[in-house]
């Protein structure tokens, strides 16, 4: 073996947590930090990747986060590095399980992929992002990798996300998140981050970050709630700006460390175009059609519309907390829209799209009423298509009257509508990101500057 013998390794992880969101990023952080501390000759080829997958899949961990590390490793170190990774994952799962006295939901997926990320993996990412992945689909992908993959924890459900994260390369749009981890002794305490410094950070960095603070509820959006290892996460467009934003915060508790992740968050990556005859539960996507009938208001203020395209129809619901319910409520029969989101199965309804974006493409501007009777002014009745009109009050008949065209006062304008910031979940593009699309940076600096 020559001294220049290196191997490219992609490490995929998923479901290395219990009911907490964010823990898979935490174990990934620890793995990468340990590798960099121990092996100076291992080079990260990218930021750690934080990949959000299909949010409609019911048994996924909260947050649907899968992770990938991409490393250039001296081939002679490969075996010891793999052992370290497996041990770290097992140790992490067992401590979390013991703390919670439950093994609920833990089905960790771990994969090592060697060499280039091939087409079957890239397709798996798109499928895991927008659809349901059956285990036999996964087995086919593994077979197609032809021995370039190892799955040391076996064939588990979590392997779908682990391999999908590895397949998430060449993203058309991407963002970054700097995640700060709490010192374990603080997990059960209140988070200590100065709120005024969060507002000041938002003011200074709002052009390159997003979802820092909810001014309508006067609440930070960068700090999660509950007992988990994440102190805060700052999301944005540029890793260097995130670092500056982080340094401007006043943090008043001891931390374990932090890392910058490259992500598909806030990019609407799950919004693939689909036609209305291609709707199945657990799919995500965008559907175009014409509104059929009136919107109906459900209990609690959620609003449902039915759209139609040819013979296919789809029910789409906008929940009150997104604010999109008001947009759907203002729609009328005949309006043309594109609705995006994820499809779930509702008993009594069938597939229902949970809307996270609405584009109003065309609105009906007029309505037509039967003509008024020239004799008495009453609205006339049609005698059938092409057969003229008859007044129900005075009996007058006419064949040459046209219907009245009434201009409608519409409460909705053409345009794109997105959820209010506090209802923006991981993959959804928040309002401020519109116009910021761009391809991911190609390693703008030493990755090792972005983990401590």
Side-chain half-sphere exposure of 412, counting CA atoms within 13 A: 23
Q: Is 124 helix (H, G, I), strand (E, B) or coil?
A: helix
Q: Mention every residue, 6+ apart, whose C-beta is less than 8 A from residue 402.
A: 371
Cα–Cα distance, 289 to 307 (Å, whole number): 5
Cα–Cα distance, 125 to 171 (Å, whole number): 11
Which string of x and - marks every residue 152-191 that binds Zn ion (by CB under 5 A)? ----------------------------------------
Q: Which of 235, 237, 182, 245 is nearest to 426 (CA)?
A: 235
**Interface segment toward Zn ion; rule CB under 5 A; list 47-55, 181-189, 389-397, 443-451:** 389-397
Select the residue interacting with Zn ion from 298, 376, 383, 408 (CB under 5 A): 376
Closer CB to Zn ion, residue 369 or residue 445?
Answer: 369
**Interface segment toward Zn ion; rule CB under 5 A; list 88-96, 195-203, 265-273, 387-395:** 387-395
Q: Are 327 and 295 in contact (CB under 8 A)?
A: no
Tokens 């208001």, located at residue: 297
Q: Which of 185, 236, 168 is nearest to 14 (CA)?
A: 168
Site membership for Zn ion, residue 394 (CB under 5 A): yes
Closer CB to Zn ion, residue 383 or residue 394?
Answer: 394
Strand partners, 342: 284, 354
Q: Are 333 and 292 in contact (CB under 8 A)?
A: yes
Residues touching Zn ion, count (CB under 5 A): 8
Closer CB to Zn ion, residue 279 or residue 373?
Answer: 373
Site membership for Zn ion, residue 391 (CB under 5 A): yes
Closer CB to Zn ion, residue 33 or residue 390?
Answer: 390
Total number of residues shown for the chain: 452
- Helices vs strands, H then E, count in the chain: 8, 24
**Interface segment toward Zn ion; rule CB under 5 A; list 148-156, 361-369, 393-401, 405-413:** 393-401
Residue 179 has φ and ψ, to the nearest 5°, of -110, 130
Select the residue interacting with Zn ion from 189, 250, 273, 375 (CB under 5 A): 375
**Interface segment toward Zn ion; rule CB under 5 A; list 161-169, 248-256, 336-344, 371-379:** 371-379
Question: Tokens in use for 83?
Answer: 């052992």
Cα–Cα distance, 394 to 340 (Å, whole number): 51
Select the residue interacting with Zn ion from 396, 401, 416, 451 (CB under 5 A): 396
Site membership for Zn ion, residue 397 (CB under 5 A): no
Closer CB to Zn ion, residue 124 or residue 373?
Answer: 373
Select the residue interacting with Zn ion from 232, 328, 355, 373 (CB under 5 A): 373
Which string of x and - marks every residue 320-359 that binds Zn ion (by CB under 5 A)? ----------------------------------------
**Interface segment toward Zn ion; rule CB under 5 A; list 136-144, 332-340, 377-385, 414-422:** 377-385
Residues that bind Zn ion (CB under 5 A): 373, 375-376, 378, 391, 393-394, 396
């Amino acid at each position: 073996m020559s001294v220049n013998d290196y191997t490219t390794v992609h490490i995929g992880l998923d479901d290395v947590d219990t009911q907490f969101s964010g823990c898979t990023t935490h174990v990934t952080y620890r793995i990468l930090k340990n590798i960099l501390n121990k092996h100076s000759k291992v080079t990260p080829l990218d930021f750690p990747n934080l990949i959000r997958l299909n949010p409609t899949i019911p048994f996924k961990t909260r947050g649907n986060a899968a992770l990938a590390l991409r490393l250039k490793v001296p081939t002679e170190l490969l075996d010891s590095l793999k052992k370290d990774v497996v041990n770290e994952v097992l140790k992490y799962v067992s401590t979390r399980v013991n703390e919670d006295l439950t093994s609920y939901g833990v089905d960790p997926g771990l994969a090592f992929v060697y060499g280039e990320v091939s087409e079957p993996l890239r397709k798996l990412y798109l499928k895991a992002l927008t659809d349901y992945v059956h285990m036999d689909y996964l087995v086919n992908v593994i077979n197609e990798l032809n021995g370039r993959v190892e799955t040391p924890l076996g064939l588990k459900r979590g392997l779908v996300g682990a391999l999908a994260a590895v397949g998430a390369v060449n993203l058309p749009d991407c963002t970054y998140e700097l995640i700060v981890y709490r010192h374990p002794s603080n997990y059960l305490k209140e988070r200590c981050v100065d709120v005024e410094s969060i507002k000041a950070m938002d003011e200074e960095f709002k052009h390159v970050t997003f979802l820092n603070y909810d001014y309508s509820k006067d609440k930070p959006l960068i700090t999660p709630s509950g007992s988990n290892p994440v102190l805060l996460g700052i999301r944005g467009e540029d890793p260097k700006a995130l670092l500056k934003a982080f340094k401007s915060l006043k943090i008043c508790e001891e931390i374990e460390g932090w890392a910058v992740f490259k992500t598909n968050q806030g990019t609407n990556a799950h919004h693939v175009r689909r036609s209305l005859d291609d709707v199945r539960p657990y799919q995500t996507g965008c559907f175009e059609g014409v509104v059929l009938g009136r919107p109906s208001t459900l209990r609690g203020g959620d609003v449902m519309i039915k759209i139609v395209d040819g013979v296919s129809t789809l029910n789409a619901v906008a929940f009150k907390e997104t604010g999109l319910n008001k947009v759907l409520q203002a729609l009328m029969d005949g309006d043309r829209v594109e609705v995006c989101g994820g499809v779930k199965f509702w008993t009594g309804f069938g597939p229902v799209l949970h809307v996270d974006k609405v584009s109003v493409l065309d609105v009906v501007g007029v309505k037509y009423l039967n003509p008024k009777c020239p004799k008495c002014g009453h609205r006339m009745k049609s005698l059938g298509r092409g057969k003229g009109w008859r007044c129900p009050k005075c009996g007058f008949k006419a064949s040459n009257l046209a219907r009245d065209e009434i201009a409608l006062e519409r409460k909705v304008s053409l345009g794109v509508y997105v959820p209010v910031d506090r209802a923006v979940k991981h993959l959804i593009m928040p309002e401020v990101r519109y116009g910021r699309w761009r391809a991911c940076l190609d390693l703008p600096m030493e990755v090792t500057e972005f983990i401590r």
